[in-house]
Amino acid sequence: MNKLAVNLNVNGRNYDLSVASNKTLLEVLRDQLDLPDTKYGCGTGECGACTVLIDGQVVNSCLTLAATADGKAITTAIGLEKDGQLHPVQEAFVEETAVQCGYCIPGMVIKTVGLLEQSPEPNEAEIRHWLEGNICRCTGYEKIVAAVKSASKKMTNAGVKAVG
Amino acid sequence: MGEFKSVGKNVTRVDIRAKVTGRAKYAGDIDMPGMVYGKIIRCLEHAHAKVKSIDFSEAKKMPGVLKTLGPEDVTSKTYNQSVIDLMASAQEAEWMGDIEEQNIFTKHVKFYGDGIGAIIAETEEQAERAAAKVKVEYEALPVYLTPEQSSAPDAIQFVESKPGNRAFQLPAEMFPNNCLGWGDVDEAFKEADVVVEDRFYTPKQKQCQMEPNNYIALYDDEGRLNCWSSCQMPKLAHVKLARLFEMPMSRVKFNQTVVGGGFGARLGLVMEPEVCALALAVPGRPVKLLQPREEDWLSSPSRHPSDYWMKMGFKKDGTPVAIDAISKNFKGGYYLDGSALASTTGFWLQGMYKVENLRYRGESYFTNQPVCGAYRGYGNPQTNFVLEQLVDRACNELNVDPLEWRKKWHKTVGDNSWIGFTQYSSCALDECLDKGAEAIGWKEKRAKYANQTGVKRRGIGLSVGQHTSGAAPMILEHTTCTVRLNEDASAELLLACSDLGQGSHTTLRQIAAESLGFPIDDVHLDVGDSDANGFDIGAHASRTLYVGGNAVKQACEDARRQLFERAAKKLEANADDLDINDEKEIFVKGSPNKSISAKEICEVGVYNFVNHLTGERNGEIGQIQSYVSYMPDHNSPPFFCTFVEVEVDMETGEVKVLELVSAHDIGRAIHPAICEGQMEGGAQQGLGMALTEEIYFDANGKVKNNSFTDYKMLGSSDMPKMTNILVENPDPYGPFGAKSVGEAGLVTPVGAVANAIYQATGIQFTQGPITPEKILKAIREKAAAA
C-alpha cells in the first residue's frame, strides 16, 4: 500500500508518521500510536465509539482516513486529562455514575466536549439529539444525559471552555 | 441507611476513572511482543451446506501468512460452547439430553457465518487479504428457518441423537408427560367463564454489547495455554478449554479482561476455542483475534426467538383457573443451552400468578440461524410479552382494572416460587405497584385514554414480573472467596466474580468493607486471574451481588472475627464486646479508650519476632486469612413492575414512548445509582425488544441486518422520560437484604409497552417487535372489518 508522510498533533504531542493511504485515523491511533482509548465499535460510523476531535470538531475516526488529518490537532479521551486532573466532562460522568461497561464512554466524553464547545448550555432535547450518533447499550442514556447537564453547569459556573 | 458505612452509598465506581479516560484495557486494547493475527473464514454463501473442499493454496502464497487451518488441522474433539451443561448433575444432564456437537471448524455449515477455517498472519490486514483468497466448494442444503420447517419429516437431521430436529423437550423423568405445572388444566377450562388464547412470536434480539468479542491467546514456553477474553463466566470457560484441548486446568490460564458489556452474549465460550486453536498452531506467538461487528453479530449467541402459544381461563369474578402454554424455541444451528432456556421460560410463567391449574410445554428446534443462548432475562421477557398481554385482554373482558387484578392474583411470600418447590422469601410488589401507579398517574390516565378517536392516541399499560437472584437450587451455585489482611490492615479479596459493567466489583467491595468494618479504600478485589482466583460460576442468572455478595460477606465476617479474637486477648475483653471505628481502632463497646489498632494486630501476625531475653513471641502469629466456598440454598426472587405511556399515530403507525416508570422490590440497594442504572439500561433493551429489535433473514437464511444501521435500537432521543423507584424491603437471605436487579430491568417494559399500545389502539399485537408497519396493517384491517 502507498505510504504517505503525515504530521499529526495528538493530545498535544507531535508525530511525524509514515501512514499507509488506506489506514483510518482510528487504526493509526490504536495500532501506530499505541492509543487504544479510542474504540472500535462498528467500523462504519454507526456507533460513535471512535469519536475524536479534529481541530475541535467531532469526527468518527473510523470513517476518517488518517492522511486527511495531516497537519491537524487531534484530541482523544485520554488527552482530556491534564496533569492528572480529569476534564470537567469526565468528572461529571464520574459523579453521575454515568458509566457501566465503559466501552462507549471515551467516545461519549469526546462527543460531549464537542457539544459544549459549540453550545455551552444545551437543553435536554439538544443533548439527546447531539448524542444520537453514539450508542450506549448499558445506561439507557439517562445518567449520561444527566452528566452532560452537570458538566455544562460546572463549566458555565467556572467559566471554563470545553476545548481547553 | 444510617446503620451502614459503605452499604447504601453511591460510592465512586472502582473502575470509572479508567473508563472515562479510556485507560481501561479491553481485550482488543492489549498488545504483546511478537503478536500475530488470526482471521476466521466464515461461510457467507449459505446458511446450510456441506463443505466439499477448502483450497488454501492461493492464501498460503499471500504475504505474511504463517498458517492456514481447516477442520482437520485442529482438534476433532467436539464441545458445547454454552456452560449451562456444567451446572447440572450427570443424571440431570442425561435426562435433559445436553449434547456436545460443535467443532472448532465445521464441515457441515449450519448457519450463515458458521466458521470453517482460519488464517494466521503477521498483520491483521495480511490475514484478511489471505482469507479472501481461500476457495471453498460447498454443496448447498435446504434451509430451515422455523421449527415447522426443520421438524418436517423429510428435513435433514442436524444431529443424529435429536430426531425431528427437536433439540429439547421437557424430559418426562423430571416433568411428568413432558409438562411443567400442576392440577388438571383440561378439566379447569370446562369451568372457565372467560377464556383468552393466542399464538405469539417473540423476536430474535441481539445483545449488542458495545465491545465486540476480541481475544488474545498464547501457547507459552512453559507449555501453558493462555487466553485473554471478556467472557462473563471465566472459570467455566477455563474448565471447558482444558477439556477441549485435553490439558490439565493447571496448564490453561484464563485472563478475564475488562468486559465491555455482556447481557448473556458471552456467557459461555464464543470464539475462545478458535483463538486457542490458532495459538496452539504457532507456539510462542500471541495470536490476536479481532472480530468486526458484522461477524460478532453472527458468531455470538442471541436471544431465542419463540413461537409461543398460551391459553388462560378465568371465573367471572376474575379468579384465574387455568393456564396452558407451549413455547417452541428456534435454537439456531447448535444446541448450546437448549434445555435450560426452554425450561426457565416456563418457570417464569409458573412463578407469577396464583392460578389453580397450569401446564407448560417447552421445546427447542434446530434452525439454520446463528446460535441462540443467553440474553438478559433468559426466557422471562418472552413470557412477559405473552402472559401480560393475555392478562390485559382478560381484564378487558372481565371489566376489571389490570392493576387491581394483578394486585389480587400475583404470588407473594410463602407461595411456591418460579422453580415450583421453594417458597418466596420476600415480596414488596404491592408497594411497587402503588408507588409506580402514583408516579405515572395510572388511575387518571387509564380513565382519560379509555375512548379516544383522534389521529394521535395515547395509552397506558402495565406489566409485572419476578426473576431470580442466582440459579440455586435449580442448577449449581457456587462462589469461593479468599480474604487476606495485609500487615497494615488493608484487605485483599481473591475471587472470580465478573463485572460486565453493571458495577459488581464496586458493590462487592462495598459489602467487603461493610463486613470487615474497614474504609472502602482499604479493600481491594483481585479478580480476573484464573491462577489466583478460586471457583465461581460467573455472571449469569443475576447472581453476582447475591451469591458473590454472600460469599464476600461470610469471608470478611470471618476475617473480622479472627481479628477481633486476637484483639480481645490483648484487651482482655470478650470478642463479642468489640467494635471497630473509622480509624480501624478496635475498641470495647462502651469503653472507647480500651482499644488497639487493627494494624498492630495484623503487623504482629506477619512480622513476628522472638524476644531474645524472654524467648517469647510478641503476639499471635500468622497472617489473618479467611476462605469460604459458598453454596446458597435460596434465590430470593425480586418482584417488579413497569408502567408505560405511549402515543400512537394512527395514520403512520408510529409509537412514541412518552413515559416509563419502573419500581423494583430489590431488598436492599447496596449502591442506589448502580441499581437505577440496571433499570434504566434494562428499559432501553426491553422497549427495543417490544418495538424495534429483530434479526431478519432472507429466504436463504442470510442475515439481513447484522449492523447498527439496519438493526434499530432506541437511541438517546427515542428514550422516554424515566422514573425508577427502588423499594427496599430486606430479604432474609440476601447480603444485607439485597436481591438482584441485573436482568429484571429488561423484563417488564416488554409487556407494559405492548399493553399501552393495546389501550391506545384497541389492538393486541402478537408478533414482536411491534413495528409501525404491523400497527398500520392492523389498524387498516380493523377498519376494513368494521
**What is the ipTM metric for this complex?**
0.98
Q: What is the pLDDT of residue B403?
A: 98
pLDDT (0 to 100) of residue A129: 98
Report the residue of chain B nearest A1, measured CA to CA: B125
pLDDT tens digits along B634-656: 999 999 999 999 999 999 999 99
Topology of domain B31-141+210-261+266-299 in CATH is: Aldehyde Oxidoreductase; domain 3 (3.90.1170)
- Closest by Cα among B330, B511, B25 to A37: B25
Does position B2 have pLDDT exceeding 70, yes or no? no
pLDDT tens by residue, B529-573: 999 999 999 999 999 999 999 999 999 999 999 999 999 999 999
Of B26, B263, B502, the CB nearest to A103: B26
Residues 125-164 on A with a CB inside 8 Å of B are 125, 127-129, 131-132, 134-145
Q: Which CATH architecture does the domain made up of B478-630 adopt?
A: 2-Layer Sandwich (3.30)
CB B303 within 8 A of CB B204: yes
A111 touches chain B (CB under 8 A): no
The whole-number pLDDT of residue A29 equals 98
Give me A127's grid cell: 443533548
Q: What is the DSSP letter of B124?
A: H
CATH dotted code for B392-469+635-785: 3.30.365.10
Cβ(B671)–Cβ(B514) below 8 Å: no
Closest of B539, B535, B494 to residue B512, by C-alpha: B494
The Cα–Cα gap between B346 and B338 comes to 13
HSE of B443, CA atoms in CB hemisphere, 13 A: 5
Contact of B321 with B72, CB cutoff 8 Å: no
Closest CA to B29 of A9, A12, A29: A29
What average pLDDT does the segment B310-315 reach? 98
Evaluate whether B392-469+635-785 and B478-630 have a shared fold: yes
Query: Is B709 within 8 Å of chain A by CB?
Result: yes
The one-letter code for the residue type at B553 is K
Q: What pLDDT digit, counting tens, does each position of A58-93 carry?
A: 999 999 999 999 999 999 999 999 999 999 999 999
Look at the block and give the residue holding cell 434480539: B205
| B502 in contact with A, Cβ within 8 Å | yes
Distance of CA B594 to the CA centre of its chain: 49
Mean pLDDT of chain B: 97
State pLDDT tens for residues B352-379.
999 999 999 999 999 999 999 999 999 9
Cis preceding-peptide flag for B248 (omega within 30 of 0):
no
Contact between chains at A143 and B501 (C-beta distance less than 8 A): no
Q: Find which of A82, A103, A127 to mutate to test the B interface (most B CBs within 10 Å of its CB).
A: A103
In this prediction, residues B182-210 reach a mean pLDDT of: 98
Q: Identify which of B49, B162, B57 has the alpha carbon closest to the alpha carbon of residue B100.
A: B162
Cell numbers 484483639 label which residue?
B567
Chain B residues whose CB is inside 8 A of the A44 CB are 293, 707-709
Q: What pLDDT sits at residue B3? A: 86
- Taking the C-alpha atoms of residue B256 and residue B266, their distance in angstroms, rounded to an integer, is 12
Distance of CA B565 to the CA centre of its chain: 41
Domains in chain A (CATH in brackets) are 3-79 (3.10.20.30), 88-158 (1.10.150.120)
pLDDT at residue B223 above 60? yes
Question: Which residues are CB-neighbours of B632 under 8 A, at least 6 positions away?
Answer: B470, B472, B477, B546, B547, B550, B733
Say what the pLDDT of residue B411 is. Answer: 98
Is the pLDDT confidence value at B1 over 50? no
What count of CB pairs under 8 Å joins A to B?
A: 172
Q: CA-CA distances (angstroms) from residue B758 to B407, B572, B771? A: 20, 71, 13
Global pTM?
0.98
- Categorize the per-residue pLDDT at A2 as very low, low, confident or very high, splitting at 50, 70 and 90: very high
Residue A163 — very low, low, confident or very high, per pLDDT cuts 50/70/90?
Answer: confident
- Cα–chain-centroid distance for residue B371? 16
CB A94 to CB B209 under 8 A? no
Do the chains contact at A100 and B290, CB–CB below 8 Å?
A: no
What percent of chain B stands above pLDDT 70?
100
Does the pLDDT of residue A164 top 80, yes or no? no
pLDDT band at residue B773 under the 50/70/90 scheme: very high
State the average pLDDT over residues B339-354.
97
B441 burial (CB, 10 Å; 0-12 / 13-18 / 19+) is middle
Residues from chain A that touch B717, judged by Cβ atoms under 8 A, are 125, 128-129, 132
Domain ranges of chain B: 31-141+210-261+266-299, 392-469+635-785, 478-630
> Could you tell me whether strands B491-494 and B479-485 are parallel, antiparallel, or unpaired per DSSP bridges?
antiparallel
Q: Does B708 touch chain A (CB under 8 A)?
A: yes
Residues in chain B: 786
Mean pLDDT of B299-303: 97
Q: How many CA atoms lie within 13 A of B157 on its CB side?
A: 8
pLDDT of B786 reads 85
Q: Check whether B693 has a pLDDT greater than 90.
A: yes
Partner-chain contact B31 A94, CB within 8 Å: no
